[in-house]
């Protein structure tokens, strides 16, 4: 009788199989739940700290997508060859200002805390203090855009601290995503004010937009467009491996495209076990996922395309303005929903 060897520990810089990134309200918690409970993977939601949690196989997260979002003022300058000293200094100042603003205070409704990245030096007894602020700044400075920068890691080609063999982009129909965001972050309904925490994150991640001047639908819409477009651009460059539509995908399909069934997977024990699960016609892991987590918008709000047109629902834009409408329509096509 053979001795069953315990699974090895996974440390901060050890490779995991998959990172799945998608916007807030794209169904990330449901995907993490199904991968964990239906096919037995150690998957974290907004958590990659394997020293404290069973997340040795990977992570599903909206905020880890910051790896593939260009650093404001820095990566955009590099793209446009704005290499003179004045522009470089302005870019660095802008980037430092948004990092400082994001780390100024804890905004728990946004699902971000430095501890989701690593087990640092700060006390978990303190929710937010100077130590956590410094840890936050250090993580954001290094993690923001790291998936777009080449590094000297032997496992992956980017400069991120924690390596993942595969990065997948989780998509949800953009209009449905906007509906959920409006329900979640709008105070007083569709014509109400946007929660300050959402404005802070959206404005700092994408400072090319003035989210403070937007209606709730507009803020949710432009955030959805910019986040997804950033990940799609990273995929086009080869930094993200694949995009899947959450409404049309099963846990077994995700496991397959994430490489868990490959012979060279990070934990080979999964290979035959997952093949057995996914070859069974009766397995619920072969069925399309149904949202049972975070049902914030269950029956509360249904948007039509015309709701994205300027002058409606508290919009300050001119009546009939179609800028957001066109951007969301273009995203729908880019994600393959048309």
Which has the closest alpha carbon to 116: 42, 55, 171?
Answer: 55
Name the residue with higher pLDDT: 90 or 330: 330
The answer, yes or no, to whether residue 297 has pLDDT greater than 50, is no
Q: What is the pLDDT of residue 13?
A: 93
Which residues face 20 on adjacent strands?
Answer: 60, 168
Name the residue with higher pLDDT: 239 or 294: 239
Name the residue with higher pLDDT: 95 or 83: 95
Which of the residue ranges 78-87, 120-129, 172-181, 264-273 has the most confident prediction, judged by mean pLDDT?
172-181
Distance, CA of 224 to chain centre: 11
pLDDT digits over 149-200, tens only? 987 666 666 799 999 999 999 999 999 999 999 999 999 989 999 999 999 9
Q: How far apart are CA 241 and CA 249, in angstroms?
A: 16
Q: How far apart are CA 42 and CA 57, in angstroms?
A: 5
Region 257-277: what's the mean pLDDT?
90
Region 79-104: what's the mean pLDDT?
84
Q: What is the pLDDT of residue 81?
A: 52
CA-based angle 291:189:308, to the nearest 5?
A: 80
Q: What is the pLDDT of residue 155?
A: 63
Which has the closest alpha carbon to 314: 187, 175, 180, 190?
Answer: 190
Which pair of structure tokens corresponds to residue 277?
């699960």
The answer, yes or no, to whether residue 298 has pLDDT greater than 70, is no
Q: What is the pLDDT of residue 126?
A: 86
Distance, CA of 171 to chain centre: 10
Q: How far apart are CA 35 and CA 285, in angstroms?
A: 8
pLDDT digits over 56-71, tens only? 999 999 999 999 999 9
Q: What is the pLDDT of residue 315?
A: 95
Q: What is the pLDDT of residue 99?
A: 98
How many C-beta atoms lie closer than 10 Å to residue 269's C-beta? 10
Q: What is the pLDDT of residue 83?
A: 62
> For residue 80, what are the CA distances in angstroms to 77, 84, 87, 210?
5, 11, 11, 22
pLDDT digits over 207-238, tens only? 999 999 999 999 999 999 999 999 999 999 99
The answer, yes or no, to whether residue 3 has pLDDT greater than 80, is no
Which has the closest alpha carbon to 218: 191, 236, 250?
Answer: 191
Q: Which of 16-25, 52-61, 75-84 has the lowest mean pLDDT?
A: 75-84
What sign results for the dihedral spanned by CA atoms 126, 129, 135, 137? positive
Region 249-257: what's the mean pLDDT?
97
Q: How confident is the model at residue 79 (pLDDT cuts 50, 70, 90)?
A: low
Mean pLDDT in the chain?
Answer: 92
**37, 8 in Cβ contact below 8 A?**
no
**96, 87 in Cβ contact below 8 A?**
no
Which pair of structure tokens corresponds to residue 57?
């196989």
Which has the closest alpha carbon to 22: 180, 186, 203, 252?
Answer: 180
**222, 201 in Cβ contact below 8 A?**
no
Cβ contacts of residue 209 below 8 Å, gap of 6+?
202, 203, 222, 226
Per cent of the chain over pLDDT 70 is 92
pLDDT digits over 28-66, tens only? 999 999 999 999 999 999 999 998 899 999 999 999 999
């Amino acid at each position: 009788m053979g001795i069953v060897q315990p699974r090895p520990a996974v440390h901060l810089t050890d490779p995991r199989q998959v990172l799945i990134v998608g916007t807030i309200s794209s169904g990330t918690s449901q995907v993490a739940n199904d991968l964990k409970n239906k096919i037995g993977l150690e998957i974290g939601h907004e958590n990659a700290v394997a020293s404290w949690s069973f997340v040795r196989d990977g992570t599903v997260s909206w905020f880890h997508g910051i790896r593939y979002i260009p650093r404001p003022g820095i990566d955009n300058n590099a793209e446009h060859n704005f290499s003179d000293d004045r522009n470089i200094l302005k870019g660095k100042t802008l980037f430092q200002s948004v990092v400082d603003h994001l780390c100024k205070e804890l905004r728990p409704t946004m699902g971000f805390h430095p501890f989701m990245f690593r087990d640092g030096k700060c006390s978990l007894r303190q929710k937010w203090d100077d130590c956590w602020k410094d840890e936050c700044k250090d993580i954001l400075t290094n993690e923001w855009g790291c998936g777009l920068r080449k590094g000297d890691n032997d496992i992956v080609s980017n400069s991120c601290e924690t390596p993942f063999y595969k990065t997948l982009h989780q998509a949800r129909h953009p209009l449905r995503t906007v509906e959920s965001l409006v329900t979640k972050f709008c105070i007083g309904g569709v014509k109400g004010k946007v929660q300050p925490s959402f404005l802070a994150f959206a404005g700092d991640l994408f400072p090319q937009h003035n989210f403070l001047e937007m209606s709730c639908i507009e803020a949710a819409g432009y955030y959805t467009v910019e986040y997804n477009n950033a990940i799609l651009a990273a995929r086009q460059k080869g930094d993200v491996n694949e995009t899947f539509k959450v409404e049309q995908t099963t846990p077994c399909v995700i496991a397959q495209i994430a490489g868990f069934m490959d012979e060279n997977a990070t934990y080979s024990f999964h290979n035959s076990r997952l093949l057995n699960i996914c070859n069974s016609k009766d397995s619920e892991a072969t069925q399309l996922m149904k949202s049972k987590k975070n049902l914030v918008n269950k029956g509360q709000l249904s948007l039509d395309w015309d709701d994205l047109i300027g002058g409606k629902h508290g919009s300050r834009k001119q009546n009939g303005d179609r800028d957001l409408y066109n951007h969301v329509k273009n995203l729908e096509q880019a994600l393959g929903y048309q």
